[in-house]
Structure formats: structure tokens, C-alpha cells
Amino acid sequence: MGYSGVKAMLMSVPPFVVSTVGLTLFVISSDRFRERSVHTVVGMLLGLIGCAVMAGSSDPKLRYGFAYVCLSGVFAGGPLIAVRLAGNTPWKASRSFVLGLNGWANLAGVIAGQLFKSSYAPSYSYPLTVTMILTAVGMVGFLFVRGIYILENKKRRKIMAGWDEHNFIEEQNSSERRGHQRYTWIYGY
């Protein structure tokens, strides 16, 4: 769009403000429906659409407009993924480890810095294409894990369907199965 310096920095503010509103709406909806995976995948889909338009268009105004779409979706993933991981990891020590490992996702900024070089300007088609591929792989991964959680929860509900109060007490006091190994543990997805 031809902006530089302070004006270019100021032009980055509106997409981030809109993405903050998008993030808030995603999180509220996710809490209301008690669902994380589909909300994360829809956010990733918005990011994918935004990247696709930015990679395929040469119109700077259209590209700028779809930066709003892209950021509105991708910002939602961080908090939703952290909540999903925390809710499905039972022990304090392992929960800290898993969330710490998730924090390493911040290395994506380092990778992006290596991909989005000025030599790819002004279209940045190559880095945007790499971003779209990684996003698509992530979407498939989230849906796969969601499917695994759904199947596991069905299996556990089937096992518990014939239980009486004694079985539930026995399961609660079991030292053989703890945390997510217990049949009473239901995964959130």
C-alpha cells in the first residue's frame, strides 16, 4: 500500500484490534459450547483463507483486508489450545510440562522471521504457501485427535453403563488406574 515508517506501524493496529475482538468471540463461544477443537479449526480455517487470498492477490487493499480475516482466526488458537491441553492433562507436573512444551510454539515467530524475508516481497507467496500447508496439517491433526477423544469417551461410557455405585467407588479408590487412565475420566474436545 506504499506506507512506511510510523504510518506503516499505525496501519498494523486495526487488524490487531479486530483480531482481539475475534479472539474474544471465539473464546466466549468455545466456553459456551464447551468445545475447543472445532473452534480452533475454524480459526485456523479463517487463517488459511486469509493467507490464500493474500498469496493469490496482487491488490494491496484486498490483501490488507484479508489480514483482518487471517489474524481474527489465528489469534484464537493459542488460548483454546492451552485450555484444551490443561483440561486433558491430569497431573500437575505433567500438565506443567505439556503447557511448557506448548509454549515452544512461540518459536513459530522465529521460523516466520526466516520465511518472511524481504526477498519474497511484495507478494510473499512462498512464505504464505508454507504457512497454509502447515495450517492445513494442523487442522487435520486437531480433527484427528478430536476423533480419538470422541471414540475413547464412547468406549468409557459403554464400560460404565453397567456400573453400580460400588464400581464407581472402587474406581475412585483404585491405585491401578489414576488420572486420565480411569474410566471416569472424560476427555474434553
pLDDT for 92? 64
pLDDT for 1? 62
Q: Look up residue 19 and give its three cell numbers.
A: 483480531
Written in H, E and C, the secondary structure of 100-160 is HHHHHHHHHHHHHHHHCCHHHCCCCHHHHHHHHHHHHHHHHHHHHHHHHHHHHHHHHHHHH
Which helix (H) or strand (E) covers residue 32, if one does? helix 13-33
pLDDT for 59? 93
pLDDT for 88? 86
What is the pTM assigned to this prediction? 0.85
> Roughly how many angstroms between the first and final C-alpha of the chain, as a whole number?
41
In whole angstroms, give the CA distance from residue 16 to residue 169.
Answer: 50
pLDDT tens for the chain, 189 residues: list them: 667 889 888 998 999 999 999 999 999 999 999 999 999 999 999 999 999 999 999 999 999 999 999 999 888 888 998 888 888 887 666 777 777 777 776 677 778 778 888 899 888 999 999 989 988 998 999 899 999 999 999 999 999 999 999 999 999 998 888 788 899 999 998
pLDDT for 163? 95
In whole angstroms, give the CA distance from residue 163 to residue 5.
Answer: 68
Task: Classify 164 as helix, strand or coil.
Answer: coil
pLDDT for 17? 95
Q: Look up residue 115 and give its three cell numbers.
A: 520465511
Length of the chain: 189
In whole angstroms, give the CA distance from residue 107 to residue 97.
Answer: 17
pLDDT for 179? 81
pLDDT for 134? 87
In whole angstroms, give the CA distance from residue 36 to residue 53.
Answer: 26
* Domain 5-146 top-level CATH class: mainly alpha
